[in-house]
Structure 1
Amino acid sequence: MKKKLILASTLAGTAILGSFLAIDRHQATAAETQEIEIKFSAAVGEKSFNCGESYSNLGTSAATVTPTDFRFYVSEVALIDGSGKAVPLTLKQDGKWQHQNVALLDFENKSGACANGTAEIRDRLIGTIPKGNYKGLQFTLGVPFSLNHEDASLAPSPLNLTSLWWNWRGGYKFLRIDMKNQMADKNPDGKSGTQSSQIAGSEGSRGGSHGGGLQGFVIHLGSTGCKAEGNNQKPTSCATPNKSKVIFSSFDPTKNTVIADLKSLVSQTNLAVNQANTPPGCMSDPKDGDCAGIMKNLGLPFGNKPAAGQTFFQVK
């Protein structure tokens, strides 16, 4: 009987000790890391982005547009320490906005002209990082190849939005900005006509659902030239990944915000016209001249032009 009591007491003591050790390990881990929030904001020049608001003097034609969508995925987020080393941010797995190392930033709220979107907005990343002194920020605009070619109808949130997905081969739309352009309802001679309906009707050529037939100019960034054995098979590679790496040498998450500026993105693009026999605006087709200025401002190569410094994202 005494042996049983001693054994039970020993087992209980071992269990208690294990509990204390687990608590100590958790506290030690918490003490070694810090939670970080990285704030983002969508803007059109000096103005904040708002669904349904019209913005003038955009692009080379000084067009007036009404944005109807503004969303993008970022991944591989890291802070840069004093020695220049990029230290990955471990994103909080919230089951909604962040999955593995991918996060969705969403600035439309399904109101007004943004009827194709979702009601909630998301303007920040949340994660943990080892405690230390950090001076910079880097991230990738896009979805990693390992996650980019899944079935959106079966994928976890935020990769389950079919409005941000083309198909198995193309993968996700890393960036989606849609605009209604007042000029799109006129023919080149200035008379009311069918230019906008022609633009809207061509959108389906890239695949996926876009809802309602868009009129005007859209920017859908994604991978192209992805090779696969069949339409429902994952590709083994993509000729043009179209993922943009963004680096800020000076960034303080307690003070700074990353600004995604639509006016800067389209500064070298004529929003009032569309290249013949191409989808509306820029849908990442390497043969679509409407993408030239946009890809340049995203810091991506296009055609025979090498990548230049991106201007879409800024720090304030």
Structure 2
Amino acid sequence: MLLVLSGCGFFTPPHRLQVELRFDGRPLPCGTALSLQGAPWYLEHSKFYLSQWQDQEGNSLHLENNKWQTGETVLVSIEQRDCWQDGEMLGNHRVVFDADVDLADVQQLQFVLGIPFAQNHHNPLAQPSPLNLSSMFWTWQSGHKFARFELKSVADSWAFHLGSTGCAADSAMRAPAEACEQPNLLAFSLQRPKGKGETLVFHLDRLIEGIRVSQENSCTFHPNETASCEQLLSNLRQSVIEWI
């Protein structure tokens, strides 16, 4: 009898990538306390959109349509608080391509952290899942939150909400006619690793490097948060996402 244990990580189909959150090089099990600044901090939210998937020749790598994905965009949702339910972690930890995509043939994986302008500013109530989540949407004018990370300690909190800024429209309830001044779309181009190439790793510690996490150092793109936002955007342009 051939036993295939795909759900337990022993076998990953050639058109699927697992997504893993790590801190200091180690996976973050559910409810893990992070030792930051001498105090325990907990991850409240960890969500981000990845889109515009291509191979080394610029060929589009289409995604399977399901509640976590459109044909172009996937929402990764790795929740830590109250995250175990009947032995399963809530959220989405994978990217599933169309069945005809064989990742073994992909030598360079290209994608964007964020949502393209053409899809970013529509009415979320009329959008397909996962583009219809109110928790990941600012306004029609600003569009979606491309990423949402939030940490909390007993005495403090910290948040990073990434999205486009400088979007010109008649009101917050109107979509801009032209691309925003700061699209804040982060492009990644990852070479095929020497390993199996079955997992994308998001390194949380690399995201917050150089940031003293606290409410006053949050970045939700308000005017008084320039220094924190610039540091976080700089960190994101480094090796925050790894293909292993």
TM-score w.r.t. length of structure 1: 0.64
1:221 counterpart residue number = 162
Gaps of 5+ in 1: 1-33, 186-195, 197-215, 276-280, 300-309
Q: CA, structure 1 residues 231+273, in 2 after alignment: closer, same or farther (shift >3 Å)?
A: closer
1:85-111 Cα deviation digits (max 9, x unpaired): 2221011122x1111311111111661
Aligned partner of 2:4 in structure 1 is none
- Give secondary structure in 2 for the equivalent of 1:91: coil
RMSD: 2.7
Match of 1:292 in 2: 230
Hey, what's the Cα distance between the residues in 1 that align with 2:241 and 2:174?
A: 34
Trace 1:265-304 onto structure 2 (pairs within 5 A): 265-272=207-214, 274=216, 281-285=218-222, 288=225, 289-299=227-237
1:1-316 matched pairs, under 5 angstroms = 36-57=15-36, 61=37, 64-80=40-56, 85-94=57-66, 96-108=67-79, 111=82, 119-127=90-98, 128-129=100-101, 133-182=105-154, 185=155, 196=156, 216-236=157-177, 237-251=179-193, 254-272=196-214, 274=216, 281-285=218-222, 288=225, 289-299=227-237, 310-316=238-244
Contact 2:16 2:94 in 1 (8 A): no
C-alpha change, 1:120 and 1:130, in structure 2 (3 Å) is closer
Residues 39 and 253 of structure 1 are in contact (CA less than 8 Å); yes or no, is this contact kept in structure 2? no
Structure 2 segments unaligned to the other structure (5+ residues): 1-12
1:224-283 Cα distance to aligned partner (Å, 9 max, x none): 1101122211112211000100111224795341100111110111113615xxxxx111
The two structures have a TM-score, normalised by structure 2, of 0.82
Deviations 1:37-68 (A, max 9, x none): 122211122232344321114xxx56642111
Deviation at 1:135, TM superposition (A): 1.2
Structure with more helix by fraction: 1
Percent identity, aligned pairs only, is 26
